[in-house]
A and B are shown apart, each in its own frame.
Chain A
């Protein structure tokens, strides 16, 4: 065998980057992604035009918190399931499995984030300078949207690596989205009401950090100065997230929410039969 050829392919540090590059091109050309961008553009524009101020930011927050997780996880699982045969073809090339996994994940999360940021950014620039008071909140909103995209794309990559059956995988994806956005809040509320007689600030804080969607919501609300509406709990939150330790813990939680599913997915991907 040609040894010169073998050593040249031996170091493939850029394999993941190359996979990202081409997958990015593929995803960026998909019509659904264009629709996603236009949707954020339209919603942001309408909200700023007719609502303005804190109301626009709140409306946008709800759209971001519901829609970004849904689109990221559902688009992600469908895209990766459809890429199964192509994944096989790539695995037959001299690449490491973890490079392929990382490349596929980033090739998904980057264009999805970009679509959101561009849609939001274009709409915001149309209304530039109209409402400097809430610019900070909108910036946090954009950052949270990107983080949620990375988190829920990681969920998608992990689901596809761990579940072979496409229908079951998409079911789990939708279930996970429902659990994070709707069911979890319901359970937390139920818990808070049941134990309303006890001091619950710490428990409520823990509950918020344990769910990426809630954490994002709290981080955005903190910037909107509506935490006063949340009474004593709001004050406790403000104190916590205002402190350096709290901010670190919140960032750490978001990193873990991306890292843990990715790690679980990568471990399965490493041993998986294609």
Chain B
């Protein structure tokens, strides 16, 4: 699905990505984890074309990520921070993104119902709580049944019930054969749905592979402990 080779990115003196090679498998949930400032968000934004890399390349389904925005019609993105135009309503926002995509094909608005958002759709976005805005954010990402979903800290700011709904949705989407890339600080929640792990430290890949293999090779039961093991022991056996 996605092939990343030799990806580098600097922000001034800050070397955020230092030659990253990563393969993201189709129909799998890949969790990008790592400490703060490891380059997780930058990696996601580079895949989306929001950030321009300094070197290396990204292929999404064989198409090189560059100036052509077309590949993004198959990508759904849920940014970390949900801030929308204050005076628009959620319904207008959804209509706008739909309009922009020129997409009258299948729409997956089942999250609206599951999150019980129907009553909030007609209110100006500025009056919605942070958690509700985050739900709108999630609805937008899943709306167009994209083949690739890029979710940056999707459960941050959601209550446990909504967070559970979202995680179920991610698993369903994966089961229908679509690809998900997700970042999270909460390793324990990734255990439930992540298939592969890309562990970044200081812009370099420390580990990439399946969660299952990682647990086996580190002889740990939880992802959290397995990652901790990698951090302490260095390389994976």
Q: Which residues of A contact B (CB under 8 A)?
A: 1-2, 5-6, 8-10, 12, 15, 18-19, 21-23, 25-27, 29-30, 82-86, 88-97, 271, 273-274
**Contact, CB under 8 Å: A274 / B92:** no
* Residue from B48, B79, B88 in contact with A25 in the complex, judged by beta carbons closer than 8 Å: B88
CB-based closest 4 A-B pairs? A29-B87, A92-B77, A9-B73, A26-B85
**Contact, CB under 8 Å: A8 / B102:** yes
Chain B 78-103 interface 0/1 with A at a Cβ cutoff of 8 Å (1 = within): 01011111111000110011011111
Contact partners of A30 in chain B: CB under 8 A: 86-87
* Contacts known (A8-B102, A88-B79); A271 close to B52, Cβ less than 8 A: yes
Q: Which residues of B contact A (CB under 8 A)?
A: 11, 45, 48-52, 61, 67, 69-75, 77, 79, 81-88, 92-93, 96-97, 99-103, 105, 124, 140, 147, 150
Q: Report 29 cross-chain contacts, Cβ distance below 8 Å, ordered by A residue.
A: A5-B74, A6-B71, A8-B103, A9-B70, A9-B73, A9-B101, A18-B96, A21-B99, A22-B96, A22-B99, A23-B85, A26-B86, A26-B88, A29-B87, A30-B86, A83-B85, A85-B81, A85-B84, A86-B84, A89-B77, A89-B97, A91-B50, A92-B75, A92-B77, A93-B97, A94-B73, A95-B69, A273-B45, A274-B50
Give the distance in Å from the alpha carbon of A189 to the alpha carbon of B82 in the complex: 50
Give the distance in Å from the alpha carbon of A1 to the alpha carbon of B145 in the complex: 12
Give the distance in Å from the alpha carbon of A57 to the alpha carbon of B235 in the complex: 78
Q: Can you add 16 more A-B contacts, CB < 8 Å, to A1-B61, A10-B70, A85-B83?
A: A5-B73, A6-B71, A6-B73, A9-B70, A22-B92, A22-B99, A82-B86, A85-B81, A88-B79, A89-B84, A93-B69, A93-B97, A94-B71, A95-B100, A273-B50, A273-B51
How many A-B Cβ pairs are below 8 Å? 108
Nearest Cβ on chain B to A93's Cβ, whole angstroms: 5
Contact partners of A2 in chain B: CB under 8 A: 74, 147
Nearest Cβ on chain B to A163's Cβ, whole angstroms: 15
**Contact, CB under 8 Å: A1 / B96:** no
Nearest Cβ on chain A to B17's Cβ, whole angstroms: 12
Give the distance in Å from the alpha carbon of A41 to the alpha carbon of B10 in the complex: 51
Give the distance in Å from the alpha carbon of A89 to the alpha carbon of B143 in the complex: 14
**Contact, CB under 8 Å: B79 / A5:** no
* Residue from A1, A85, A271 in contact with B79 in the complex, judged by beta carbons closer than 8 Å: A85
Closest to B61 in A: A1
Give the distance in Å from the alpha carbon of A2 to the alpha carbon of B70 in the complex: 12
Nearest Cβ on chain A to B197's Cβ, whole angstroms: 24
Nearest Cβ on chain A to B81's Cβ, whole angstroms: 5
Nearest Cβ on chain B to A34's Cβ, whole angstroms: 11
Give the distance in Å from the alpha carbon of A95 to the alpha carbon of B100 in the complex: 7
Nearest Cβ on chain B to A216's Cβ, whole angstroms: 30
**Contact, CB under 8 Å: A5 / B105:** yes
Give the distance in Å from the alpha carbon of A1 to the alpha carbon of B92 in the complex: 28
**Contact, CB under 8 Å: A26 / B82:** no
Give the distance in Å from the alpha carbon of A84 to the alpha carbon of B99 in the complex: 20
Contact partners of A85 in chain B: CB under 8 A: 79, 81-84
Give the distance in Å from the alpha carbon of A75 to the alpha carbon of B100 in the complex: 26
Closest to A29 in B: B87
Give the distance in Å from the alpha carbon of A92 to the alpha carbon of B81 in the complex: 14
* Contacts known (A89-B140, A273-B11); A12 close to B48, Cβ less than 8 A: no
**Contact, CB under 8 Å: A93 / B87:** no
* Residue from A10, A86, A97 in contact with B85 in the complex, judged by beta carbons closer than 8 Å: A86
Closest to B9 in A: A273
Nearest Cβ on chain B to A40's Cβ, whole angstroms: 21
